[in-house]
Amino acid sequence: MSLATINLDAAPAGLPEEVVAWVSSVAELTQPEAIHFCDGSTEERDRLNAQMIASGTFIELNQAKRPGCYLARSNPSDVARVEARTFICSEHPEDAGPTNNWADPDDMRLTLQRVFAGSMRGRTMYVIPFSMGPLGGPISKLGIEITDSPYVVANMRIMTRMGDAALEHIKNGEYWVPAVHSVGYPLIDDAGEPREDIPWPCNDEKYICHFPETREIWSYGSGYGGNALLGKKCYALRIASVLARDEGWLAEHMLILRITRQSDGRRFHLTAAFPSACGKTNLAMLRPTIPGWKVETIGDDIAWMRPGPAGRLHAINPEAGFFGVAPGTSEETNPTALHALDHDTIFTNVGLTDDGDVWWEGLTDEPPAHLIDWQGHDWTPDCGRKAAHPNSRFTVRASQAESISPDWEDPAGVPVDVILFGGRRAHNVPLISESYDWNHGVFVGATVSSEQTAAAEGTVGALRRDPFAMLPFCGYNMADYWGHWLRLGAQLGAKAPRIFQVNWFRKADDGHFLWPGFGDNSRPIEWALRRVAGEVEAVDAISGRLPALDDLNTDGLDITDADLEHLFELDPDAWATEADLTEEYFAQFADRLPAELQGQLTALRNRIAAAR
Ligand code: GTP
Ligand code: SPV
Ligand code: MN
């Protein structure tokens, strides 16, 4: 089958030969019934929405209450990223490193040929040209995702700059990354018999594959989130981290925000890496509980950062939307996000109320008396099940957040002053500490551990290492990635951002969170910014430099003195155990581990010994 023999509705003129050849080869393999090149128009969106309502993929929400909003319910087996089925297919296993699943690229190509063969039979194949980052920007990059899922098209339309405008850049010969996705549910079976479509097609066999040398993405079997919206984790993190290593920049799992001090108008830009579902969206939309600071949102999940002309590190948000965790989002915790969801939002796996609205755990104190849960079953508050899946999400344009910065689409990015590393740590890690220098900051980032959340399949709550919040997202050997960070720091020198570690999740012995979090996170951040401005001293300690308690703004803060002190307690014995575990952790990287990090471990041990 060649492109010419496939019934194209509106194939754009002037496609580069390599695009035609690639689309044809994927069509030949997957055998779709039709091919549609997405133009990104509202007409196209409306047509696909109507089609998804008819097929049951979308449930139209109450349009008087939430215009342009839809609910999708996934298959209960397809609710999160599948890290065990995510592969880095580099030629040499050591280039994927011990923290990734490696697969031989030749073997994987054979597997992919097998599963993709005929996988789109009876379906339309959508071709989505997209830009990660503002169109034509110096830090931005292009891609084309082929998918057989209209739900993916609808989400990519929100999450990226998608359609004709991106295609124009590809037609001009700019570099683009190919990404192929199939849900793996053809509508014609092997015997040639047609079968009915279902609201959430997917396949029990899943492969999320990355080829770092040829810079390709192939994803099979899942329609959910980062498994299927290939611009996000697959491109903007796993493939982009490889591009960034080779080209001298950084692709990171970080939010970006601007904080302006109103008294003198001084602007600070901050990026922060937290593991999945650990508060990036909330922090990106921070509403300070202390006066005098204004926060603007630039991004909530991914930052691409490059040294700029004046030698500073500049960050852009490569995405155009938020794919945010719904549960826990409320008028109290994140009013900005909540208000953004008033219109033109796709909700996935949340509860459906009797008046056609949405609900999730934490949205209101008082749950509705009845609703339909994320699996389509009747739900009442006492039924013992969750109304929304813990990894249920909303997809919304970034521009719908009232906190969005007027400069969020500046193609040159914003100059970064501060980098935060955080995780969920019930013990040991203080509310905030400053790294002694860049290399110490890299050590802190490299040793982050965090309790696992529902964002990926696995044991929720289990403590695991999540270096730089990139464990599931680094496209090459993690030790080489640390080396890349060390080199970039040396290049930036005195102009490098300052690095801090934070932990909103420390718990008291009775299990309550010691820190109120959310808007009050502005307090330790204020201290960090005052450090950058050279306005406040710090106290040298085991894990880094701590604030003197008097320097942390606690006006109006609802916390006991005991809890406040506990937040900064550093137990030398517990830290000696941390150091032992770090040594064990580092051992798996063998001779790829940068010597500087071994040196940082020794320095940590020396500080522990001095504190004893
Ligand atoms: P991904 O989109 O998965 O990368 O994650 P994210 O980091 O953007 O996650 P998000 O901001 O949606 O995290 C939400 C979870 O973090 C919810 O369970 C919140 O209740 C919790 N959370 C966010 N901020 C805080 C905080 O300051 N304190 C506490 N205790 N919990 C918080
Ligand atoms: C994450 O898991 O870090 C996310 C959600 O941001 S997903 O896009 O599904 O990866
Ligand atoms: Mn994320």
Q: Could you report the per-residue pLDDT of 549-570, keeping only the tens digit for each?
A: 999 999 999 999 999 999 999 9
Q: Is 245 in the pocket of ligand 2 (CB under 6 A)?
A: no
pLDDT computed for residue 3 by the predictor: 45
Longest dimension (CA), the chain: 77
Given a contact cutoff of 8 angstroms between Cβ atoms, the answer to whether 457 and 80 are in contact is yes
Q: Is 81 in the pocket of ligand 2 (CB under 6 A)?
A: yes
The 8-class DSSP code of residue 260 comes to: E
| Band of pLDDT at residue 222, cut at 50, 70 and 90 | very high
| Band of pLDDT at residue 11, cut at 50, 70 and 90 | confident
Describe the strand order of the beta sheet including 303-307 as a list of residue ranges.
250-252, 303-307, 313-316, 414-415
| Band of pLDDT at residue 96, cut at 50, 70 and 90 | very high
Q: Is 225 in the pocket of ligand 2 (CB under 6 A)?
A: yes
How many A from CA of 43 to the centre of ligand 1? 35
Counting from 1 in the atom list of ligand 1, the atom nearest the Cα of 518 is 27
pLDDT computed for residue 590 by the predictor: 97
pLDDT computed for residue 6 by the predictor: 54
How many A from CA of 549 to the centre of ligand 3? 32
pLDDT computed for residue 338 by the predictor: 98
Q: Is 325 in the pocket of ligand 1 (CB under 6 A)?
A: yes
Residue listed under structure tokens 């490059």: 306
Could you tell me where the beta strands, DSSP code E, fall in 80-175? 86-88, 124-132, 141-147, 161-162
Residue 601: its H or E element: helix 595-611
Cβ neighbours for 448, distance < 8 A, ≥ 6 positions apart:
273, 275, 421, 422, 423, 465, 466, 467, 468, 469, 501
At 134, list the tokens: 């503002």
pLDDT computed for residue 462 by the predictor: 85
Which of 81, 158, 229, 255 maximizes ligand 2 atoms within 8 Å of its Cβ, making it the mutation to test the pocket? 81
Q: Is 226 in the pocket of ligand 2 (CB under 6 A)?
A: yes
Q: Measured between alpha carbons, how far is 418 from 303 in angstroms, rounded to an integer?
A: 13
Q: Mean pLDDT lowest for which of 45-54, 452-461, 497-506, 530-539?
A: 452-461
Given a contact cutoff of 8 angstroms between Cβ atoms, the answer to whether 86 and 232 are in contact is no
pLDDT computed for residue 334 by the predictor: 97
Find the mean pLDDT for residues 133-161: 98
Express the helix, strand and coil content of the chain in percent, nearest 5 each. 30, 25, 45
How many Cβ atoms sit within 10 Å of the Cβ of residue 14? 9
pLDDT of 343 higher than 70:
yes
At 81, list the tokens: 């990223």
Instruction: Judge whether 278 counts as a catalytic residue.
Output: yes
| Band of pLDDT at residue 458, cut at 50, 70 and 90 | confident
pLDDT of 1 higher than 90:
no
Q: Measured between alpha carbons, how far is 305 from 417 in angstroms, rounded to an integer?
A: 12
| Band of pLDDT at residue 461, cut at 50, 70 and 90 | confident
pLDDT of 7 higher than 70:
no
Residue listed under structure tokens 């937040």: 567
Q: Measured between alpha carbons, how far is 347 from 71 in angstroms, rounded to an integer?
A: 5
| Band of pLDDT at residue 534, cut at 50, 70 and 90 | very high
pLDDT of 427 higher than 70:
yes
Find the mean pLDDT for residues 384-398: 98
Among residues 234, 278, 383, 474, the one annotated as catalytic is 278
pLDDT of 576 higher than 70:
yes
Q: Measured between alpha carbons, how far is 555 from 334 in angstroms, rounded to an integer?
A: 21
Convert the pLDDT of each residue in 470-520 to its tens digit: 999 999 999 999 999 999 999 999 999 999 999 999 999 999 999 999 999
In 65-122, which residue ranges form alpha helices assigned H by DSSP? 93-96, 105-116
pLDDT computed for residue 264 by the predictor: 97
In the chain, the N- to C-terminal Cα span, in Å, equals: 73
Q: Measured between alpha carbons, how far is 385 from 267 in angstroms, rounded to an integer?
A: 46
Using only the alpha carbons of the chain, give its radius of gyration: 24
Residue listed under structure tokens 């155009």: 320
Q: Which residue's CA is the closest to the ligand 2 atom numbered 7?
A: 226
How many A from CA of 393 to the centre of ligand 2? 10
Bridging pattern class, strands 371-372 and 378-379: antiparallel
How many Cβ atoms sit within 10 Å of the Cβ of residue 319? 24
The DSSP annotation for 548-573 comes to: -GGGS--TT----HHHHHHTT---HH
Q: Is 322 in the pocket of ligand 1 (CB under 6 A)?
A: no
Residue 218 corresponds to which amino acid?
W
Find the mean pLDDT for residues 149-172: 98
How many Cβ atoms sit within 10 Å of the Cβ of residue 487? 13
Residue 321: its H or E element: strand 321-325
pLDDT computed for residue 421 by the predictor: 98
How many Cβ atoms sit within 10 Å of the Cβ of residue 491? 13
Convert the pLDDT of each residue in 520-530 to its tens digit: 999 999 999 99
Q: Measured between alpha carbons, how far is 336 from 351 in angstroms, rounded to an integer?
A: 21
pLDDT computed for residue 10 by the predictor: 60
Q: What percent of the chain has pLDDT over 70?
A: 98
The DSSP annotation for 362-379 comes to: TS-SS--S-EE-TTS-EE
Distance from CA of residue 54 to its chain's centroid? 31
List the one residue out of 130, 136, 138 whose CA is nearest residue 157. Answer: 130
pLDDT computed for residue 8 by the predictor: 53
Q: Which residue's CA is the closest to the ligand 1 atom numbered 3?
A: 276
Q: Measured between alpha carbons, how far is 431 from 197 in angstroms, rounded to an integer?
A: 50
Given a contact cutoff of 8 angstroms between Cβ atoms, the answer to whether 217 and 149 are in contact is no
List the one residue out of 505, 488, 503, 501 whose CA is nearest residue 528. Answer: 501
Give me the torsion for CA of 9, 14, 15, 18, rounded to 10°. Answer: 150
Cβ neighbours for 543, distance < 8 A, ≥ 6 positions apart:
429, 430, 433, 444, 501, 570, 575, 604
Give, as residue ranges, everything with CB less than 5 Å from ion ligand 3.
Answer: 276, 301
Counting from 1 in the atom list of ligand 1, the atom nearest the Cα of 513 is 30
| Band of pLDDT at residue 364, cut at 50, 70 and 90 | very high
